[in-house]
């Protein structure tokens, strides 16, 4: 592999796998889907490693690939066609599991593209310009979608908070 060796890719993959998984988990909302998305992303990066290794930021390239695969799968409905899903492996228990479950449930209600924008903008702390570039849209689209999505999340989390206080 001129321009990027297999060993270079393996080293990169070991270091980036955890970061990619975290973003994938927030996008997918489940551990198995996040593992599949992470693996698909790494496979695509391996296929184009020469180009990736020459990029200014392989991490930005990887986030772009991950996000585009996620959106593509959502659009084509491939996830809905998976008939044989394994039982989900429990994630490590957070300090406040009810808060994490509430947030994931609220994120799951957003359309895939809006969810990707919120995760990239606020979880990954990327600039509006970077998110726009990753998702191939205008900065004003990112701003308006994030604004609407946050308003929707506030509404959902406000309602969920009332139910959690009763329990």
Among 3-7, 8-12, 70-74, 80-84, name the one with the lowest average pLDDT. Answer: 80-84
Cα 100 from Cα 165, distance rounded (Å): 15
Mean pLDDT across the chain: 81
Q: Reply yes or no on whether the pLDDT at 35 is more than 50.
A: yes
Fold match, 1-85 / 95-167: no
Q: Per CATH, which fold does 1-85 belong to?
A: Rna Polymerase Sigma Factor; Chain: A (1.10.1740)
Residues with Cβ within 8 Å of 74's Cβ and at least 6 positions away in sequence, in order, are 112
Q: What DSSP character marks residue 90?
A: P
Task: Identify the residue whose tokens are 């849209």.
Answer: 137
CA-closest candidate to residue 137, choices 120, 122, 125, 124? 120
Structural domain spans, the chain: 1-85, 95-167
CATH for the stretch 95-167: 1.10.10.10
* Alpha-helical regions (H) of the chain: 6-28, 31-47, 49-54, 58-76, 97-108, 112-118, 128-135, 139-166
Cα 88 from Cα 105, distance rounded (Å): 16
- pTM here? 0.65
CA dihedral of residues 56, 58, 59, 64 (deg, nearest 10):
90
Residue 38 pLDDT level (bands cut at 50, 70, 90) = very high
């Amino acid at each position: 592999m001129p321009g990027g060796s297999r060993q270079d890719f393996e080293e990169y993959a070991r270091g980036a796998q955890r970061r990619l998984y975290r973003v994938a988990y927030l996008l997918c909302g489940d551990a198995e889907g996040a593992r599949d998305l992470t693996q698909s992303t790494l496979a695509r990066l391996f296929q184009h490693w020469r180009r990736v290794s020459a990029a200014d930021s392989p991490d930005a390239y990887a986030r772009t690939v991950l996000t585009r695969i996620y959106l593509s799968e959502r659009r084509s409905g491939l996830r809905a066609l998976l008939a044989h899903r394994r039982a989900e492996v429990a994630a490590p228990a957070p300090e406040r599991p009810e808060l994490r479950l509430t947030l994931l449930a609220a994120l799951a209600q957003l359309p895939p593209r809006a969810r990707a924008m919120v995760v990239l903008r606020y979880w990954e702390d990327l600039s509006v310009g970077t998110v726009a570039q990753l998702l191939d849209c205008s900065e004003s689209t990112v701003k308006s979608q994030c604004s609407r999505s946050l308003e929707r999340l506030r509404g959902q989390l406000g309602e969920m908070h009332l139910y959690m206080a009763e329990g």
